[in-house]
Chain A
Amino acid sequence: MPQRIVVLLSLILLASLASAANLEERVVEHRLANGLTLLLMERHQAPVVAVNLTYRVGGVYEHNGITGVAHLYEHMAFKGTRTIGVTDAEKEKPVLEELDRLAEAIMAEKIKGPAADQTRLAALRKRFTEVEAQAQQFVVSAELATLYQRNGGVGLNATTGKDVTRYFLSFPSNRLPLWAAVESDRMANGVLREFYKEKKVVLEERRQRTDNSPSGRLHEAFAAAAFLAHPYGQPVIGWPSDLEALSRTETAAFFQTYYGPVNAVLAVVGDIKPKEVIALVENTFGKIPARPPAPPVLTTEPPYAGERRVEVEFPAESQLLIGYHKPSASHPDDDVFDVLESLLSEGRTSRLYKRLVQEKQLAASIEAFSDYPGAQYPNLFVISATPRAPHTIAEVEQTVYEELDRLKREPVSPHELQKILNQVDAAQVRALRSNSGMASRLAYFQAISGDWRETFKRRDRIAKVTPDDIRRVAAQYFTKNNRVVATLVKPEDGAGKDKP
């Protein structure tokens, strides 16, 4: 009997999966009373499921003084809750609070600079170490990850960007109840333990990603030069001094503001029955009280005219970033930039690759990307290149401008546009290959635009982009006075050279 049912199921599956066009019909959307959006897609290839919990929070919601808090919180979210990762949360609480008071006293003394009382500082630090050890007594190390991994969870991780923070993993589908219990607990009852140690970990992450990385340094300076007012100019990882000063209270307040259910999108893709998952999520996440919607970023970048250039000295081979200010993902011109991104740098037949890498051989690599460093707010269209010796940044830069100017004069051929559309269509089909890829895609578009269907609508808008649209957008945005340029060059005095 079971065999026959299976055969029928397979046939239905074949028919329904034959084309990507009906992909849209396979997504089930459900809104909880507390505002959480749930997106579900059945895919029974294997008895596994991928989940992606995306919050509309990231570096863009920070201001000077608390840069890095969104990312630091993401790390803290792995430390557990009032019941996970701790032996006795009630007893732990006053110890953590004493630790906060000590940390604040240390900060208050330290900022006095040369006038700081060193004896008092030393005593505070000694006490801090003692209390930190006391707090450690309550910790069940990495219990949250242990629960997931013990149950076959793989790919457990999280990322923080400018616009969104995302928590994800995959696991055998019969473990959904465990995941729902842990993840809803994490949304409602997170406890910031091992906070001061985790700051050290994040500072190591900053050293790795930014301080010792030529491109990390260049990108940080580039974004800071591009945005005078808007928080897109601040690094997601945070300025080291802000990270050092960040308090647990500020971090908890940030969580309260931005981690409400209404600010979250949960995508579940894989071997599921949507009705069951809806019931499970209602029964767990649904019990979390609603919170007010998080405030949007009000600061807008004022219009300005004039090219901005920034030079970063670093003992490494040269690199170049060119950016043009452009509107956010919700503006109609954004689709034209998506087309421009492909036209300029997707594949070996793209314009910049062909001209700079293949023909003139000025560059070792070149890439164009839209929506930098985020998509939610007005952002940049960026061209990133590494010159090939003995060619210079200036030669590469000049040739990029020639290619961009060509876009303003000559209409793009229908063949080039068709190629881009073919690639978008194929990408839609390929996206379905992976549960985690699909979960990520659905949750991202829902979080950014409020509609997961954007992943399909975008395709139709790209299909409508005309050669005239491209000419108009190139002429309007690719201008010198709308431009920001960052270059990485070797220090002139030989500073930073390594000793023999």
Chain B
Amino acid sequence: MTQERLTLRLIVLLVCATLLAACTTLPPATGDPRAMKFDPVTFTIPEVERIVLENGIIVYLLPDPELPLVTASAMIRTGAVYEPPEKVGLAALTGTVMRTGGTARMTGDQIDEELEFLAANVGVGIGSESGTASLDILKKDLGRGLAIFADMLRTPSFEPAKVELAKRQALEAIRRRPDSPAGIAGREFRKLLYGADHPLGRESTIATVSRITREDLVAFHRQYFTPSGLILGVTGDFEKPAMLDALRKVFGDWKPQPVTLPAIPPVTASPASGSNRSVNILSRDLTQTYLRVGHLSVKEDDPDFFALALLEDILGGNSFTSRLFRDVRIRQGLAYSVGSRLVPGNLGPGAFLLYALTKGSSTHQALASMLDHMERLRQEPVTDDELQFAKDAFLNSFVFSFADAGLIVGRLMALEYYGLPRDFLQRFRDSVVKLTKEDLLRVARKHLHPDRVVILAVGKDDDFEQPLSTFGQVRHLTLKPGG
């Protein structure tokens, strides 16, 4: 028996003596709220136990007896990035039918009937860069729930009728894609950023989904679902030894097998250093233009990531208070939705994005404002007030990253999956405290490139008040059927 026990460092933030929240007496609520001063938010992060089972399954346990519920979640080393290009959609279908298509012991219909009678929630899904599964069940039914959950991961039977149903549903979803302009903008922008053939940019089509057979699903599952690729996290009302016994009972005899993950090719589609902006219009008969602006960016393990994240909060990440929100929405009244996002790169590069939805006749104005704000971060430092506000907002809301057991365990699983340090968030916090305006300016100059962004406008270009050619050479995209 080789059981590795690794107790995570008990992280004490600031000073706190109790595991419970600090119930201090409230100061009076009189006077100007702007002048009110409060003690720093103090809390302790509970200890999470990490155990590696004999067959390689990594388990995180964090009991939380508040409610008579148990939640198990799984991350599996797989993803749509690993599916063959002629069968895009295979990974997602495999996840869907693992949930619906029965197991060695039960039919899919029997499973649905039992789980719904027990009011249990079970899900399996395979996304772009990982597979996930979850079980949420009343404590009294845990034994049954875990058995079904484990069977789904280990011995899905992929009933032909459920494979066919899932395929037909996937094809209908593709047919309905053009009905959502936001969906079009998202997919087309990804294609522009990563390349239409790149695993991070491509999308399923009628052709790729039609080609997928039941045998493909069986093979995809067999290839990736193995104990050595599995991270489990369990929270809720249980005792650790009993939970470990229960997990061993359902997963213990699962034999590990080696997994080879295909390499992810480098991204070459985005404008390279020194090149021009890529301006793209996809003409649709809409009263609003869906604007996306951005470029590839650093990954979470980059030393500049934390500074870039705070900069992004200031630019468009903080709802209601960011520069983009105050200017494009509040001051100019051009958009209801406007902001930015820093997408962490996990397997591939990350991305820095800005978005806005504005009426056709203010498309140029909104786009110009977005680019100006990006440029301004490179030209001048943020103000002392802005920096202090961004830090305060981040640090004072930090407690919410640890507000429940599921969040804490889910994050540890993801950090391990993506090879990031367990104390990633604590490092984030410690870095943010030290950041200066000069740091942000340096990072903006290094990592923001308004001169070579990818721009996408999905909307009725006849309505634009000025042609977008002022931003660069315009390319007109066409939507492929089912695109």
Contact = CB atoms under 8 A, between A and B. Distances in A.
A358 B396 contact: no
17 contacts: A2-B18, A45-B403, A46-B399, A47-B22, A150-B396, A152-B395, A154-B397, A156-B320, A175-B38, A201-B336, A204-B333, A208-B357, A212-B286, A316-B178, A423-B119, A433-B404, A498-B283
Interface in A199-250: 199-205, 207-208, 211-214
Contacts of A17: 65-67
Interface in A122-152: 136, 141-142, 145-147, 149-152
Interface in A379-408: 386, 388-389
Nearest to B236: A433
A211 B17 CA distance: 55
B41 A174 contact: yes
B357 A204 contact: yes
User: What does DSSP make chain B's interface, helix, strand, loop or mixed?
Assistant: loop
A41 to B, nearest CB: 13
Given A14-B65, A204-B357, A142 B326 contact: yes
Interface in A1-19: 2-3, 6, 9-10, 13-14, 17-19
Contacts of A498: 283-285, 479
B117 A418 contact: yes
B36 interface: yes
B181 A212 contact: yes
A157 B39 CA distance: 25
B27 interface: yes
Interface stretch (B168-176, B226-234, B251-259): B168-176
A348 interface: yes
A170 B122 CA distance: 29
A276 interface: yes
Given A46-B399, A180-B29, A386-B176, A500 B478 contact: yes
A157 B396 CA distance: 18
B287 interface: yes
Contacts of B288: 204, 207-208, 211-212
B118 interface: yes
Given A152-B399, A152-B400, A176-B29, 6 more contacts: A172-B38, A174-B39, A175-B396, A177-B28, A204-B335, A434-B404
A74 interface: no
A415 B23 CA distance: 46
Given A315-B285, A423-B119, A78 B320 contact: yes
A389 B176 CA distance: 10
A177 B397 contact: no
A150 B21 contact: no
Interface string B313-352: 0000011110001100111111111000000000000000
A149 B22 CA distance: 21
A432 interface: yes
Contacts, number: 254
Q: Which 10 residue pairs spanning A and B have beta carbons closest together?
A: A152-B396, A200-B333, A426-B119, A145-B320, A177-B29, A47-B21, A205-B336, A271-B21, A197-B333, A316-B179
Nearest to A155: B400
B276 interface: no
A48 interface: yes
Interface residues of B, number: 90
Interface residues of A, number: 101
Contacts of B67: 17, 20, 429-430, 432-433
A173 B21 contact: yes
A481 to B, nearest CB: 32
Nearest to B335: A204
A273 B287 CA distance: 51
A17 B325 CA distance: 42
Scoring B34, B69, B120, B319 by chain A CB atoms within 10 A of each residue's CB, the highest score goes to: B34
B428 interface: no
A153 interface: yes
Interface string B343-386: 00000000000000111000000000000000000000000000
A457 to B, nearest CB: 20
A45 B399 CA distance: 11
Contacts of B319: 145, 156-157
B337 A208 contact: yes
B189 interface: no
Contacts of B175: 317, 389
B113 interface: yes
Given A78-B320, A271-B23, A273-B23, A499 B283 contact: yes
A297 interface: no
B179 A151 contact: no
A170 B136 CA distance: 25
Contact of B33 (A178, A202, A276): A178
A32 B385 CA distance: 39
Contacts of A152: 41, 392-393, 395-400
Contacts of B41: 47, 152, 172, 174
Contact of A347 (B112, B172, B358): B112
Given A147-B34, A207-B287, A194 B172 contact: no
Nearest to A84: B33
Contacts of A203: 359
Interface in A87-109: none
A362 to B, nearest CB: 11
